[in-house]
């Protein structure tokens, strides 16, 4: 029963409280209960985590869910195969992975593959080469932080001096 409908019914019977109070009452204790199917975000986090890094209850729950659905089994396999590409610098295997995904009936992964194909040379380079833009992004973040700290207080010359001294 939707909460708004329940609120209307119990207000007719004289309930003086607010909707927030009712929602808090209804949610009381729900976080502690074990559900058969986890929330989508939790399931995604389980899939994206290495199986060895998952606590035992979550790992067995994920294994039970994956074994009960063939599409979920395929999805988890493709996600884990793709996760191995950047961590092991195997960008040359991306074409094979994309052709395998194209042969499945997982439309959400088809959209992901279409996005990869739009800039395929850059994706392959990112998965293969040992270079990254982490140091540049770190420098940009530092400059932006200094700029925010100086907002409205001084001139460009002082900002430049602070950047060069840091």
Whether the Cβ atoms of residue 7 and residue 24 lie closer than 8 Å to each other: no
Residue whose token pair is 């409908």: 5
3-class state of residue 63 by DSSP? helix
Residues 6+ apart with CB under 8 A from 74: 104, 106
pLDDT tens per residue, range 70-110: 999 999 999 999 999 988 899 899 999 999 999 999 998 99
Co-location of 139 and 123 in the same domain: no
Domain coverage including residue 1: 1-33
Q: Which of 26-40, 54-68, 86-100, 122-136 has the lowest mean pLDDT?
A: 26-40
Q: How many CA atoms lie within 13 A of 8 on its CB side?
A: 4
pTM of full prediction above 0.85: no
Co-location of 1 and 81 in the same domain: no
Co-location of 40 and 77 in the same domain: yes
């Amino acid at each position: 029963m939707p909460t708004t409908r329940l609120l209307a019914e119990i207000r007719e019977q004289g309930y003086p409280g607010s909707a927030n109070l009712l929602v808090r009452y209804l949610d009381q204790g729900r976080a502690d209960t074990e559900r058969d199917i986890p929330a989508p975000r939790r399931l995604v986090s389980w899939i994206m985590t290495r199986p060895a890094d998952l606590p035992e209850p979550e790992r067995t729950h994920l294994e039970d869910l994956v074994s009960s659905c063939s599409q979920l089994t395929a999805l988890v396999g493709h996600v884990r195969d793709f996760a191995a590409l950047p961590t092991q610098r195997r960008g040359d295997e991306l074409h094979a992975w994309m052709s395998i995904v194209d042969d499945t009936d997982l439309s959400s992964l088809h959209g992901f593959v279409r996005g990869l194909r739009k800039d395929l040379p850059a994706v392959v380079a990112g998965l293969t080469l040992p270079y990254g833009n982490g140091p540049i992004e770190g420098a940009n973040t530092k400059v932006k932080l200094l700029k925010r700290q100086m907002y409205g207080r001084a001139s460009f010359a002082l900002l430049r001096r602070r950047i060069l001294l840091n």
